[in-house]
Chains A and B, each alone.
Chain A
């Protein structure tokens, strides 16, 4: 049992770490908030002074703001759909006692070790380029006109690349959940005459509910801020077809050197992420209570 002295000592000893962490978080946040209300352009020293809500109105009034919001949600939703469904399928597959299971697992999780810009470059030039990409050659082999993926289906292409990167994460989590399912339960269901589909719906899927929730929550946090894949492949275009909120903030703050508006965009992005997280927790987070 901790005495009053040991509790005080613990607090004193932990204080430096807590203070550093707080400062680490608070300073950038306060600076972002401060800049978001200032006229501050890196390249135009004449832009100075208090901006009021000007920066926020400028960002929200951006012609691509609504589309980037929709694109963000489609991106998150699309990737979640592919990774959750695909992850469950792959987890079931590699859980089977087959020859070369170890190697298969490594192959399945390997995309997770590829850095996002590298993955985007591989997909852009190696697979999806209409001229020298593998898919282009495949299309040509069947006498078809190669698809110009990043121009014809920009958002879909980005979703495919991001899903490819996140699928191993989902698969690993689902596989862990699957392996924690007791063998007796499965055998009992099998003896009671439940077929594979029934076993999946009534035994496996409910057992995986918590891991599905974890995957959705963790991935959503990361997927809301997808940037490298868009920067490398489509640059947010054509037009604004693949611009998400993160890319819009980058375009405003970095490409246009408008620190004030970029900061306002950053604050808006944080608010949107929190709103999404709030609804997500209410919708799926209840699975975690059990």
Chain B
């Protein structure tokens, strides 16, 4: 018996069937919630017959990859994981497909999305990315150390109180730092924190004519407060510390307070990882009484690039990954505490979730305390709370982040850092055409 015709036939059938089945290529970030989504996704393929090809990358690599792909119209991905920074900028440039299929689907219930998050992912009233999980930032603190210092954390403290408490909680001999804050340079690292902090001091990145504002007293007050706080009560080598380093320090019991992403709450209260799991309290990010708090707003979200050849299938996948049923699937498998937080109002009204996540209410309060359309006290020409939603911001803020990190490391004074930040930013904004 000749096998060749049979093999050729089988091969042709296989090719034909693989050509007819649709395959989506999805770029996503390698954090826990997304990895879980990947694990659950065979159910989507079973339901729809759409195969999934995953490209899971570390955050910075993902950003560079998807930015290059979308800017050059590469068409490598059908679904991209992007943040609140990219969504409105890319939508404006016509690089993303509006998610009309989702917003018009009653079962998806787009009105259930938290308004600040939804606004952050919209451009001219249209939704361009669906939030997978959302976050703000708040204060996580050690209740035992606070008590030992003879202080009580208010629900909405001021920076003055935080300064006092941090210095009182510091015990260098016992390797306890009153406060741990981001110091590592980067637009998504120290500048996310410092920009959010500056909002509460009345500072802003640009005035209405796009002139940088680092020469204004509000930025000086922000940086002076940050540097003196870190000098008196921060950990050694703080200018190398980002989210992960501070998380480790807090979990090891070396921080009295930590102001960072709300998503960290489940990590610091998890007894398997955290030595202080049962001693953590939460409070809103501090203010100075000017009406704005120092907390940010972010959502890792799914969007469809205009270059995708499989836009309908991509919309189906996004619907599957971000609707209410997905939350229930995760809850059934891993418990309510592990569902992706910060995207849907209904989740925060769910009694089971409230019982499983003691930080739920404070997370919701923090998300609502951030306003991307009016982030600071004075008027601004941009949107974004801990970033400025213009394409040039990532480059500019990385540069400024280096200067502020150098000030924290003691390599330059706060005044020098601010003066250089002003010069460099003015130069870049002039080049980009914002300043004539």
Closest to A150 in B: B240
CA A256 – CA B427 in complex, angstroms?
A: 13
Pick the contact of B411: A41, A239, A257 (CB < 8 A). Answer: A239
Whole-angstrom distance between the alpha carbons of A58 and B412 in the complex?
Answer: 24
Contact between chains at A130 and B237 (CB < 8 Å): yes
Nearest-neighbor residue (CB-CB) of B89 within chain A: A43
* Contact-size category for A: 20 to 34
Q: Within the complex, what minimum Cβ distance (angstroms) separates B303 from chain A?
A: 16
State whether the Cβ of B122 lies closer than 8 Å to any Cβ in chain A: no
Cβ-based interface call for A254 (8 A): yes
Query: Are B392 and A44 closer than 8 Å at their CB atoms?
Result: yes
| Interface residue stretch chosen among B110-118, B157-165, B263-271, B394-402 | B394-402
Q: What residues on B are CB-neighbors of A43 within 8 Å?
A: 67, 71, 89, 391-392
Q: Is the CB of B427 within 8 A of A61?
A: yes
With beta carbons under 8 angstroms apart, the residue of B240, B391, B420 that contacts A44 is B391
- Please name all residues of chain B whose beta carbon is closer than 8 Å to the beta carbon of A130 when the two chains form the complex: 236-237
Whether B10 is near chain A, meaning CB under 8 Å from some CB there, is no
Q: Is A75 an interface residue when CB atoms closer than 8 A count as contact?
A: no
Interface residues of B in 41-86 (CB under 8 A from A): 64, 67-68, 71-72
Given A46-B433, A146-B236, A254-B64, check contact A151 B392 (CB 8 Å): no
Which residues of chain A are within 8 angstroms of B376 by Cβ–Cβ distance? Answer: none
Q: Are A238 and B427 in contact (CB under 8 A)?
A: no
Residues of B within 8 A of A255 (CB): 394-395, 398
Chain B residues in 8 Å Cβ range of A131: 235-237
Residues of A contacting B409 with CB < 8 Å?
A: 148, 151-152, 237-238
**Could you tell me the dominant secondary structure of chain A's interface residues?**
loop
Are A235 and B236 in contact (CB-based, < 8 A)? no
- For A257, the chain B residues whose CB sits under 8 A away are 67, 71, 391, 394-395
0/1 string, B378-410, CB within 8 A of A gives 1: 000000000000011011101100110110111
The residue in A44, A47, A61, A241 that gathers the most chain B C-beta atoms within 10 A of its C-beta is A44
- B interface bracket (residues with beta carbon within 8 Å of A): 35 or more
Chain B neighbourhood of A254, CB < 8 A: 64
For residue A193, CB closer than 8 A to chain B, the reply is no
Chain A 237-272 residues near chain B, CB threshold 8 A: 237-241, 251, 254-258
Check B432 for interface membership: any CB of A closer than 8 A: yes
- A241: chain B residues at CB < 8 Å are 406, 411
In contact, A237 and B185 (Cβ under 8 angstroms): yes
Are A256 and B394 in touch, CB under 8 angstroms?
A: yes
Q: Which residues of B contact A152 (CB under 8 A)?
A: 409-410
Q: Given A63-B420, A254-B64, A257-B71, A148 and B411 touching (CB < 8 A)?
A: no
Are B392 and A256 in contact, with the CB atoms below 8 A?
yes
Q: Smallest distance from the beta carbon of A148 to chain B beta carbons, Å?
A: 4
* Contact partners of B436 in chain A: CB under 8 A: none
Which of A45, A46, A148, A258 lies in contact with B237, CB distance below 8 A? A148
B330 contacts A by Cβ under 8 Å: no
Is A85 interfacial (CB-CB < 8 Å)? no
Q: A41-B391, A151-B237, A256-B392 provided; 12 other pairs, C-beta below 8 A?
A: A42-B68, A42-B71, A46-B433, A63-B420, A131-B237, A148-B236, A151-B239, A152-B410, A239-B411, A251-B399, A257-B395, A258-B395
6 tightest A-B contacts by CB?
Answer: A256-B395, A239-B406, A238-B406, A43-B391, A151-B409, A42-B71
Query: Chain A residues in contact with chain B, CB under 8 A?
Result: 41-47, 58, 61, 63, 129-131, 145-146, 148, 150-152, 235-241, 251, 254-258
